[in-house]
Amino acid sequence: MLVCGALLLLLRGGTRADPAWLALALVPTALVARSFRKRSTEPSPEEQLSRQQAVFVGVNPTTLAAFEQLKRTSPDTDVIGFIDAPERRRRDLPYLGDFDTFDAVLRSCVIDAVYLGLPMRSHFDTISEVIASCETHGVTVHYLLDMFPARKGSGTKLRVVDGVPTLMLHTAPAAGWQLSLKHAFDRIAAACALVLISPVLLIAAAAIKLEDGGPVFFAQERVGFNKRLFRMIKLRSMVVNAEALMKELEQKNERDGAAFKLTHDPRVSRVGRILRKYSVDELPQLINVLLGQMSLVGPRPLSLRDYGLMPEDWQRRRFSIRPGLTCYWQVRGRHKTTFLEWMKMDLEYIDNWSLYEDLKVILQTVPELVRGGGA
């Protein structure tokens, strides 16, 4: 805008700083700068993922000391609340409910870690239930060691987290160099892939636009890492009002469990059938991978509709790792598998995850795409 203002002054034939002409250049510049400043204050998807949300179970001197320690030493950790009996509730602390509501909290909230600090002798059964619930949902548990006798076992680590000694239990891949390498590889590969497939995306976008004149992309809210919501991007393969028609087709669903599938879905457009056959409609999700919301390999992200219909809590452990573009389900029968088999495959992937396993799934996915075994 400043350059445009200078050109206007030159075209006017003068070089003096006329206030009116300077205002013409500076006012829009200030507005643009203010817009960028406002936008820069909004947290990016990467920043949202880097922030940790924690819950404390127990209200007592030890958990309160750990809470204060976290506030001092871990600015990226947000404690969303405390779980304990109603009589132990404190007005100065965020209270989420009693022990009976703990499962509901895990089911409905974004939770990365649970800090457990209940007296062992008087709360053994409750402690066992809390640990079992966290294991079911794939949420990491930190024992406050002066409250519970630490015992090493499968999926446990003795750690000091932000000055708080804990025994960490995890049923998903723990943070480390391998996960960091996975996420770095995801973004580099996604960037390269977007460049290589850009001609395909342009052709597909033109075909979608020419068919009915509607929007090229379809964005839908999906459930991601530790139940964080994000907008997943796809090329539109259905009619414009497909979401509104969903309710009318629910009774014709051919899939079991929480999934929805029709062999001949009337909402799919002619172009959409081709895009779906070769999974071209899924390729824009590489943008979600670049944003850190997805990985190349991981459990497929579920819609809010599917998440709400999940029949068993143990299936929610699939959200303890970032969702992916492809997974076991994509290369082992895809739409031919039952919902229960799909969920078991996701947990099998989590339990056996390695960089080698990711590479193997990616290499198995390529022939699936070429063969056209899509939805």
Cα–Cα distance for residue pair 29/191, rounded to 1 Å: 32
Residues 111, 197, single domain; the answer is no
Do residues 103 and 190 share a domain?
no
Torsion of Cα atoms, 54 then 60 then 65 then 69, to 10°: 0
Residue-level pLDDT at 39: 47
165 with 307, same domain: the answer is no
**233/316 same-domain check:** yes
Report how far residue 246's alpha carbon sits from residue 260's, in angstroms, rounded to the nearest whole number.
10
Q: 309 and 220 in one domain?
A: yes
Q: Which residues contact 90 (CB under 8 A, 6 or more apart)?
A: 59, 82
119, 138, 169 - which closes a domain: 169
CA neighbor of 96 nearest in space, from 141, 128, 57: 57
Do 319 and 278 lie in one domain? The reply is yes
d(CA 58, CA 77) in angstroms, rounded, equals 18
Among 60, 1, 44, smallest CA distance to 26 is for 1
Q: Supply the DSSP symbol for 82.
A: E
Residue 238, in any domain of the structure: yes
Is residue 146 located within the same domain as residue 221? no
Distances (CA, A) of 97 to 47, 53, 105, 230, 234: 28, 17, 9, 27, 39
Are 202 and 344 in the same domain? Answer: yes
Q: Which of 169, 202, 236 is the last residue of a domain?
A: 169
What Rg value do the Cα atoms of the chain yield, rounded? Answer: 26
Residue 70: CATH number of its domain: 3.40.50.720
pTM given for the model: 0.75
One domain, residues 149 and 221? no
Number of domains forming the structure of the chain: 2
Asked if the structure places residue 131 within a domain, the reply is yes
Quote the mean pLDDT of the chain: 84
For residue 159, give both structure tokens. 């750690």
Q: What is the pLDDT of residues 279-330, one digit of tens each?
A: 999 999 999 999 999 999 999 999 999 999 998 999 999 999 999 999 998 8
Concatenated DSSP letters of 208-241:
HHHHHS--SEEEEEEE-GGG-EEEEEEE--B-TT
Last residue of a domain, one of 138, 169, 200: 169
The whole-angstrom separation of Cα 77 and Cα 70 is 7
pLDDT reading at 56 higher than 90 = yes
Place of tokens 């076991």: 328
pLDDT tens-digit readout, 70-100? 998 888 899 999 999 999 999 999 999 999 9
196-243 pLDDT, tens digit each: 999 999 999 999 999 988 999 999 999 999 999 999 999 999 999 888
pLDDT tens, residue by residue, 13-55? 544 545 554 455 455 555 544 544 544 455 666 666 778 999 9
Do 193 and 258 fall into the same domain? yes
